[in-house]
């Protein structure tokens, strides 16, 4: 709760409280996608935490069972984030209120940045799981998304 409040305060100072709400909503749903995928892969999880100015982290309680599982879990956050961005854009199209267009663009941009193939971003985790699969490795070393 304290990290979420710190994140909200920091984003509110940098941009606007409405944008802070939108970013926290995106981060929360994005990380929930990771947690959902972990549970679907049969993994224990501690949930997720907001990290002020860096987003959030879904934290497993057990190791990834395979490279496939790591890639799957890494992709679920951006996929859930895509739906949030699209829904926010749909609200803009319905209401024509500029704040929703700005929020949808920011959400899509943050989601896209997270897909850059650099570890520990989700794109880097997906790339790593692909490389591990191609090389015949089937376990993941770092367990934090």
Q: What are the phi and psi torsion angles at 72 (to 5°)?
A: -60, -45
Helix, strand and coil in the chain, % to nearest 5? 65, 10, 25
3-state secondary structure of 118: coil
> Rounded CA gap, 40 and 38, in Å?
5
> What's the mean pLDDT in 76-85?
95
Choice among 7-21, 28-42, 67-81 with the minimum mean pLDDT:
7-21
| pLDDT score of 78 more than 80 | yes
List phi, psi (to 5°) of 70.
-65, -45
Token output for 104:
């949808």
Res 43 pLDDT > 80: yes
Report pLDDT for 142: 46
């Amino acid at each position: 709760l304290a990290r979420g409040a710190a994140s909200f305060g920091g984003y509110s100072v940098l941009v606007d409280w409405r944008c802070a709400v939108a970013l926290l909503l995106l981060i929360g749903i994005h990380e929930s996608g990771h947690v959902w995928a972990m549970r679907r892969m049969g993994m224990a999880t501690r949930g997720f935490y907001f990290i002020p100015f860096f987003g959030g982290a879904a934290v497993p309680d057990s190791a990834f069972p395979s490279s496939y599982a790591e890639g799957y879990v890494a992709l679920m956050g951006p996929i859930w984030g895509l739906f949030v961005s699209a829904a926010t854009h749909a609200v803009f199209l319905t209401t024509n209120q500029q704040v929703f267009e700005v929020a949808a663009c920011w959400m899509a941009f943050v989601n896209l940045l997270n897909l850059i193939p650099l570890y520990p971003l989700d794109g880097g985790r997906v790339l790593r799981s692909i490389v591990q699969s191609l090389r015949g490795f089937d376990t993941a070393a770092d367990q934090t998304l």
